[in-house]
Amino acid sequence: EKHTKRMNQLAQSLVQEGQNPYERVVSIESHLARNYRYTVSLPNIGDKNPIEAFLFETRRGHCEYFATAMVLLVRSLGIPARLVNGFRGGTWNDVGQYLSVRQGDAHSWVEVYLEPYGWIPFDPTPASDEGLPQQTKLMQWLRHSYDSSRMLWMK
């Protein structure tokens, strides 16, 4: 855990209006989602601290940057927070009748411990404008058919 004085100052400035830990956490989450851009094409930052470069210079990154930055900002306020990695979403395959979860569905988010509720999930990552182009029904059916045949072969 390495939050710097600069990160702590940013966190303090973001939560001045927060009346309780929940409002402070939401202020940080909202700030990141509104003022930073999602990208998988990371800029070259050399040997700089990647989270500091994300927060104060490039202001763009993927979900791990958003979630890690939020955890460090929240922790700098003395509020327990943890990074969570997993999968979000998936695509229902009508041909094979199963949920297809791919590596592209991997995601990082944050859980914050708030009394008396326990661990509450937060996601500071904004929606991506780098997604796949819209697929026609035929393209989707072909992709699902191919994926379904692969699944049957593996079984």
> Catalytic residue at 31?
no
List the 106-114 sheet strands across, edge first. Answer: 81-87, 106-114, 118-122
Of the candidates 3, 31, 62, 123, the residue annotated as catalytic is: 123
Q: Which amino acid is at 27?
A: S
Of the candidates 31, 62, 63, 144, the residue annotated as catalytic is: 63
> Catalytic residue at 63?
yes
Of the candidates 107, 129, 144, 147, the residue annotated as catalytic is: 107
**Are the beta carbons of 109 and 67 closer than 8 angstroms?**
yes
The sign of the dihedral angle between the CA atoms of 51, 52, 54, 59 is positive
From residue 127, alpha-carbon distances to 38, 40, 108, 114, 118 in Å are 7, 12, 13, 26, 27
> Catalytic residue at 123?
yes
**Are the beta carbons of 38 and 112 closer than 8 angstroms?**
no
Active site residues: 63, 107, 123
